[in-house]
């Protein structure tokens, strides 16, 4: 496929909203022992559940390696609407390592290959060898059949950007201004780069993300567009919770900002779990960390957030953290049902994913619906 050195905006392409129709989803079958305890068996079961749920609505491209190929084939045996793509990788966060996709005026879909450096490179990256992950986007486009833009001069992960599909991109300062991303660029230069690369007209900079989010606080964990002009924001009323000042800072920005079309933004509060999700002794017994990899500690608070959901074409795959008696789990599902009456709310227990450091949105990357089909 063609590697393009032009810019999406000048070519008439833009990043659509995740709530818009799409043709498929990319997921990477889990294996990294420093992310997924107990040889990734619990994670593989949860990934399989989610793959099957998404495959009911759209095609799922399941990326496998030599190590995971047979396990994935066995666990997904008989599942329709999936395609295995064999590409080596360092970890399973498809939102961050798979291509970002943009759509042209004629419906053509193209990928974008950003530079990936494990969320911070040598400054504060989470592991020391990310070479396979950095090659994944280009290899996927070539394997499946998408032309793609070369944006490899700019460090970015898919979870660090959110689009309303109408010219507005949302990011966090804590992530994109991190010294481990693009320290040679200032805020204005990053804004211009995002607009040119994503076909956008405006970037809304939220100050912070979710407390203790090791991605330097990706936007996809704290705030998400559910349609143009409307967002859900992770929220707590507990002034003593460390998340409170972070969410409040984001609220203050959203209340005074407008989008690229000049609309004021409607903000819907989505609660964080009532009890923090923490690393347990049992979790620690299952991890195998390699040299240079960020390690976990018993009692460490994980960045659990209901905002980290996935839109299929017909449903919302919504993470759950507290079990059947969790009031915040129930409330999050009720809120999303009211906000998205056209979709089925599908709650999924997500602890076996959050122990890896991310959530449902983090392990999925959408491919927009368009004229270009693989």
Just list the catalytic residues. 362
CA 12, distance to chain mean position in Å, is: 25
The CA distance from 346 to 303, in Å, is: 21
223-227 and 202-206 as β-strands: parallel, antiparallel, unpaired? unpaired
The CA distance from 119 to 64, in Å, is: 22
Sheet holding 59-64, edge to edge: 82-86, 59-64, 22-28, 365-368
Sheet holding 3-4, edge to edge: 3-4, 148-155, 109-115, 100-104, 13-14
230-235 and 266-271 as β-strands: parallel, antiparallel, unpaired? parallel
Sign of the alpha-carbon torsion through 318, 321, 324, 329 = negative
Burial-class residue 190 by CB neighbours within 10 Å (0-12, 13-18, 19+).
Answer: buried
Q: How many CB atoms lie within 10 A of CB 39?
A: 15
The CA distance from 163 to 165, in Å, is: 5
The CA distance from 140 to 321, in Å, is: 32
Largest CA distance in the chain: 53
Q: What are phi and psi of 88, to 5 degrees?
A: -70, 150
With H, G, I as helix, E, B as strand and everything else as coil, classify residue 134. Answer: helix
* 334 close to 326: Cβ distance less than 8 angstroms: no
The first and second tokens of residue 371, run together, are 């004229």
The CA distance from 245 to 90, in Å, is: 34
Closest CA to 204 of 156, 228, 168: 168
């Amino acid at each position: 496929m063609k590697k393009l050195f032009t810019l999406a905006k000048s070519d008439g392409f833009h990043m659509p909203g995740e709530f818009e129709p799409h043709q498929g989803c990319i997921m990477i079958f889990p294996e990294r022992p420093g992310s997924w305890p107990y040889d990734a068996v619990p994670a593989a079961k949860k990934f399989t559940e989610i793959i099957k749920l998404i495959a009911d609505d759209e095609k799922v491209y399941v990326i496998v390696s030599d190590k995971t190929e047979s396990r994935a084939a066995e666990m997904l045996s008989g599942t329709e609407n999936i395609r295995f793509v064999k590409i080596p990788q360092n970890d399973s966060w498809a939102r961050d390592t798979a291509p970002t996709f943009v759509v042209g005026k004629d419906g053509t879909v193209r990928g974008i290959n950003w530079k990936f450096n494990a969320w911070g490179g040598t400054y504060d990256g989470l592991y020391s060898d990310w070479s396979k992950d950095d090659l994944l986007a280009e290899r996927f486009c070539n394997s499946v059949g998408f032309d793609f833009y070369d944006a490899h001069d700019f460090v970015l992960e898919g979870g660090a950007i959110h689009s309303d599909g109408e010219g507005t991109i949302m990011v966090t300062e804590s992530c994109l201004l991190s010294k481990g991303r693009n320290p040679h660029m200032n805020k204005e230069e990053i804004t211009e780069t995002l607009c040119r690369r994503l076909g956008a007209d405006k970037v809304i900079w939220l100050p912070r993300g979710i407390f203790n989010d090791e991605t330097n606080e990706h936007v996809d964990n704290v705030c998400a567009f559910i349609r143009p002009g409307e967002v859900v924001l992770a929220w707590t009323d507990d002034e003593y919770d460390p998340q409170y000042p972070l969410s409040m800072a984001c609220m203050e920005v959203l209340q005074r900002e407008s989008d690229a079309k000049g609309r004021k933004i409607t903000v819907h509060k989505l609660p964080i779990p009532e009890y923090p999700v923490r690393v347990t002794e049992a979790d620690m017994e299952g991890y195998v960390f390699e040299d240079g990899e960020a390690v976990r500690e018993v009692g460490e608070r994980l960045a659990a957030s209901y905002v980290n959901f996935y839109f299929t074409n017909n449903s919302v795959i919504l993470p759950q953290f507290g079990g059947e008696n969790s009031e915040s789990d129930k409330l999050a599902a009720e809120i999303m049902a009211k906000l998205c009456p056209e979709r089925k709310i599908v709650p999924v227990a997500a602890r076996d994913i959050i122990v890896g450091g991310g959530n449902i949105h983090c392990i999925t990357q959408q491919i927009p619906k368009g004229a270009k089909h693989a």
